[in-house]
């Protein structure tokens, strides 16, 4: 990104991030790189337990458990900027809500494609599940690609073709279950779907109260309290898995709201105006979140159970890391070191899909992916590092070739 506000970068949830905050893109790119790495590392055996997700019955968390929530934190950081810029272009709040709903649905659609690909029954669909997934993703790329240099008629045809392809793929999908033939499974919409639902939940709270400076902080406190109450089973409906849709048990919206609060620290209109004052305030938030998380630790420390300590300690780490990146990238203007991850931060959605496209192609063509090789010890770590670098380089090439998805 450059130093002007007129050339926005679009995040994974469709938010427009101000180009003056270089650290947001770089933070997102680093998180994307770590996500690719840990996803590939998950198939490597014989490593320390701290290199994997902690099991649900263990009260502990690793850095792997912090990657997805850190991404939600970044979604929150970009949200106030996106809302402000969209309302500046079009003051209609109804149009803003239409934008939010469509972005949430788009992420849910992509998540359902990824989550259901392996469940497809080729005999019932009359198509290989890998082909089904690739066609669905091809439709998504056609629909949500950023086109330049083409006439509006051609762009309309490409987008319409992409939408039609997605609809056809959903229409023909079938899976086999003990109860017979079934359609799309909605029980787990994959990470992209969870991001979409959580983004929508945070918007329900933030947009109506966006003019009140203190509102995000109050919402953050309320969400932490709700999360703690759900985990402690203090509420009569605490046994219900979804709790309150789309807020779940409050942990995931807590992460997004914390990002909104952090964004207001660095970008909001308040009396803390110097970079060092903003960093001090963010570090204070980091310390407070860590202490509150420590006090709530008796309720458990678990990503899988989505406990408040897991969310708060991730927020604490994210605040501290972003403060450091803000000082390095935006204050000191040192960004050259991030050349590899920066495209993944501005072209995040396509970067996220590249590994899945590779695996679907491997399955379709009948060759064994890298997951079947060098999958133990240090060779496995080296494989994961090389795979991550390769994906980031592909993302860089796609971005330079002007292939970029925007929701």
The reported pLDDT for the residue numbered 19 is 43
Annotated domain spans of the chain: 9-400
The reported pLDDT for the residue numbered 6 is 29
Residue 193 contacts residue 108 (beta carbons within 8 Å): yes
Which residue has better confidence, 13 or 169? 169
What is the crossing angle of helices 308-325 and 251-267, to 10°? Answer: 30
Kindly report the pTM of this predicted structure. Answer: 0.90
For the record, the structure tokens of 297 come out as 């630790």
Whether the CA torsion 395, 400, 403, 406 is positive or negative: it is positive
For the record, the structure tokens of 374 come out as 């060098």
Instruction: Give pLDDT tens digits for 9-33.
Output: 334 444 444 445 789 999 999 999 9
Kindly tell me the burial class for residue 294, based on how many C-beta atoms sit within 10 Å of its own C-beta (0-12, 13-18, 19 or more): middle
Q: Is the peptide bond before 343 cis (omega within 30 degrees of 0)?
A: no
Which residue has better confidence, 246 or 280? 280
d(CA 209, CA 341): 34
d(CA 166, CA 140): 7
Instruction: Give pLDDT tens digits for 305-362.
Output: 999 999 999 999 999 999 999 999 999 999 999 999 999 998 999 999 999 999 999 8
**pLDDT score of 283 more than 90:** yes
Kindly tell me the burial class for residue 3, based on how many C-beta atoms sit within 10 Å of its own C-beta (0-12, 13-18, 19 or more): exposed
Average pLDDT over residues 78-92: 92
């Amino acid at each position: 990104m450059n130093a002007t506000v007129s050339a926005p970068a679009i995040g994974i949830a469709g938010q427009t991030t101000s180009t003056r905050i270089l650290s947001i893109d770089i933070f997102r790119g680093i998180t994307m790189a770590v996500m690719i790495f840990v996803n590939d590392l998950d198939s490597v055996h014989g490593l320390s337990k701290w290199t994997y997700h902690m099991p649900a019955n263990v009260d502990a968390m690793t850095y792997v458990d912090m990657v997805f929530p850190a991404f939600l934190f970044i979604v929150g950081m970009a949200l106030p900027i996106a809302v402000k810029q969209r309302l500046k272009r079009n003051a209609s709040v109804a149009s803003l809500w239409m934008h939010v709903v469509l972005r949430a649905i788009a992420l849910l659609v992509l998540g359902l494609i990824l989550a259901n690909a392996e469940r497809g029954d080729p005999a019932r669909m009359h198509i290989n599940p890998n082909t089904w997934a690739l066609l669905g993703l091809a439709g998504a790329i056609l629909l949500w690609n950023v086109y330049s240099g083409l006439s509006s008629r051609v762009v309309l045809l490409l987008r319409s073709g992409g939408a039609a392809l997605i609809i056809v793929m959903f229409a023909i999908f079938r899976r086999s279950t003990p109860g017979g033939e079934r359609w799309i499974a909605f029980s787990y919409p994959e990470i992209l779907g969870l991001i979409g639902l959580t983004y929508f939940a945070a918007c329900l709270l933030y947009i109506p109260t966006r003019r009140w400076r203190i509102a995000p902080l109050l919402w953050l406190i309320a969400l932490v309290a709700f999360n703690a109450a759900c985990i402690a089973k203090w509420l009569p409906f605490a046994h219900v898995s979804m709790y309150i849709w789309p807020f779940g048990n409050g942990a995931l919206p807590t992460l997004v709201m914390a990002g909104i609060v952090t964004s207001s620290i660095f970008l909001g209109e308040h009396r803390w105006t110097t970079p060092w004052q903003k960093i001090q305030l963010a570090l204070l938030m980091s310390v407070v979140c860590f202490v509150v998380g420590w006090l709530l630790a008796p309720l458990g420390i678990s990503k899988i159970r989505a406990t408040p300590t897991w969310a708060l300690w991730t927020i604490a780490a994210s605040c501290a890391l972003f403060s450091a990146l803000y000082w390095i990238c935006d204050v000191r203007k040192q960004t050259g070191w991030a050349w590899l991850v920066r495209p993944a931060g501005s072209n995040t959605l396509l970067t996220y899909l590249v590994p899945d496209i590779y695996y679907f192609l491997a399955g379709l063509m009948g060759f064994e992916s890298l997951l079947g090789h060098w999958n133990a010890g240090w060779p496995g770590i080296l494989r994961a590092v090389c795979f991550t670098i390769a994906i980031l380089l592909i993302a860089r090439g796609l971005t330079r070739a002007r292939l970029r998805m925007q929701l």
